Amino acid sequence: MEKIRVGIVGAGLIAPMHAAGYQEMPDQAEVVAICDSDEEKARDQAAMFGARVYTDFRALIADPQVDLVDVLLPHHLHYPAAIAALDAGKHLLLEKPVAMTYREALEIYRKAQHTGVHFTVAENTRYVKAYIEAEKIIRSGQLGEITLVRTFLPANERVRLSSDDFWGKRRHMGGGALIDSGPHSFYLLKWLFGDFRELAAYTSRLYRDSGSEVEDNADVRGMLACGAEFHCGFTFTAEVPHSERLEVYGTQGSLIIDQLALPPAKLYADPADFDGVAVEGVEYDPMGWHYFSIVDEVKDFVTSVWEDRPPAVDPLDCCYAVRVIEAAYESARSGHRIVTV
Ligand SMILES: NC(=O)c1ccc[n+]([C@@H]2O[C@H](COP(=O)([O-])OP(=O)(O)OC[C@H]3O[C@@H](n4cnc5c(N)ncnc54)[C@H](O)[C@@H]3O)[C@@H](O)[C@H]2O)c1
């Protein structure tokens, strides 16, 4: 098989991490084109690869020398760029959220199925070492029946939300902390525990003088179909490094993951187990865990195309995450009413 020729669309913050994934597979993939509406950004990234520069994503997609399109655009452009890539018969790696609505997300998914190209969502959550170990622990049954699952994703987006570009603009991003961080937690819960049953959501906007139009804090809680309660919190106003936390409480033990803690993953056997036990195979790496999960996500997609097999991330689970986000916004808009998912 020839090397997969990659075109990256969107040369912003996340682009160098995707690029690093391709760079680690020099025999399988090669970045040949970069597009950004800001030509200077595209040129800067392209210089690393000697890649062609585009400022119009449709022109990059039409390039016959591009086999795989990697879409790293603001949320409102995911749908048109994804559909254009699939129409052109290109393999597609698409950043989260799949789209701004569940209907659009499913349309992308179905078109990819119909077209027969390789498609997935860049959901790095699936490649975070602590969650890979969590899956083994949960599936082994050692926690007993799961009663409560909590996630918390703290970040600080003060600068981005007050910028003049699309961050903080509802029509470009579809919302704030909920649609931006929600895909990770809702994908994680769907992957590890299955479907959601019902939820209620509360959102707020604390950065009121920043020009931001979107919520910078969100809380979503409810029931999973497996019978466990869940509680997911998202904030853009935390004065801590970007991190993630997962707590899984079962009838025979609990698992706590916190990327800022040392050790980051611990098992507790019962209420008298104050020490807990560190989960093997999960290193303390507060600066690297996110980066390496993105590199691994890109490498898995390239390998899946190369080997003609599905990647670890089922894009339908990422579409489902958008459905949960929609239900959460519906609840928040209607005064925290309980919404069936
Ligand atoms: N998996 C993760 O943990 C993670 C982290 C950050 C971002 N993301 C996702 O990645 C995507 C991009 O986020 P980012 O942080 O890189 O944003 P960013 O703002 O840094 O980059 C987006 C880029 O798109 C460019 N752009 C805007 N309109 C364009 C157009 N019409 N044509 C071509 N280029 C255009 C902008 O100039 C900008 O350089 C989003 O979907 C975001 O949710 C995922």
State the Cα–Cα distance between residues 292 and 283, nearest whole angstrom. Answer: 12
pLDDT at 270: 95
Could you tell me if the CB of 313 is within 6 A of ligand 1?
Answer: no
State the Cα–Cα distance between residues 206 and 183, nearest whole angstrom. Answer: 22
Taking the centre of ligand 1 as the mean of its atom positions, its distance from the CA of residue 233, in whole angstroms, is 23
Atom index in ligand 1 nearest the CA of residue 75 equals: 41
Fold for the domain defined by 126-292+321-340: Dihydrodipicolinate Reductase; domain 2 (3.30.360)
10-residue mean pLDDT profile of the chain (341 residues): values are: 95 97 98 98 96 98 98 98 98 98 98 97 98 98 98 95 89 97 98 98 92 96 98 97 97 98 97 97 97 98 97 98 98 97 97
The number of residues making up the chain comes to 341
Q: What angle do CA 140, 145, 146 make, to 5 degrees?
A: 95
Could you tell me if the CB of 41 is within 6 A of ligand 1?
Answer: yes
pLDDT at 209: 81
Strand 277-278 vs strand 229-235: parallel, antiparallel, or unpaired?
A: unpaired
State the Cα–Cα distance between residues 74 and 195, nearest whole angstrom. Answer: 28
Taking the centre of ligand 1 as the mean of its atom positions, its distance from the CA of residue 227, in whole angstroms, is 36
pLDDT at 128: 98
Domain with CATH 3.40.50.720 in the chain: 4-122
Dump strand ranges (E) for the chain: 4-9, 29-35, 52-54, 68-71, 91-95, 119-122, 146-154, 196-204, 217-224, 229-235, 245-250, 253-258, 265-268, 277-278, 339-340
Q: Which tokens go with 298? A: 């890109």
User: Helix H segments across 163-253?
Assistant: 170-173, 177-193
Report residue 326 CA to chain centroid gap: 16
Q: In the β-sheet with 91-95, what is the strand arrangement from edge to edge?
A: 52-54, 29-35, 4-9, 68-71, 91-95, 119-122
For 4-122, which CATH superfamily applies? NAD(P)-binding Rossmann-like Domain (3.40.50.720)
pLDDT at 334: 96
Q: What angle do CA 279, 281, 285 make, to 5 degrees?
A: 95
Give the CB-side neighbour count of residue 193, counting CA atoms within 13 A.
27
C-alpha to C-alpha distances, 22 to 4, 6, 18, 30, 147, nearest whole angstrom: 10, 8, 7, 7, 40
Could you tell me if the CB of 303 is within 6 A of ligand 1?
Answer: no
Close Cβ partners of 265 (under 8 Å, ≥ 6 residues apart): 130, 133, 134, 255, 256, 257, 278, 279, 282
Taking the centre of ligand 1 as the mean of its atom positions, its distance from the CA of residue 261, in whole angstroms, is 29
Would you call 326 helix, strand, or coil by DSSP? helix
Domain with CATH 3.30.360.10 in the chain: 126-292+321-340
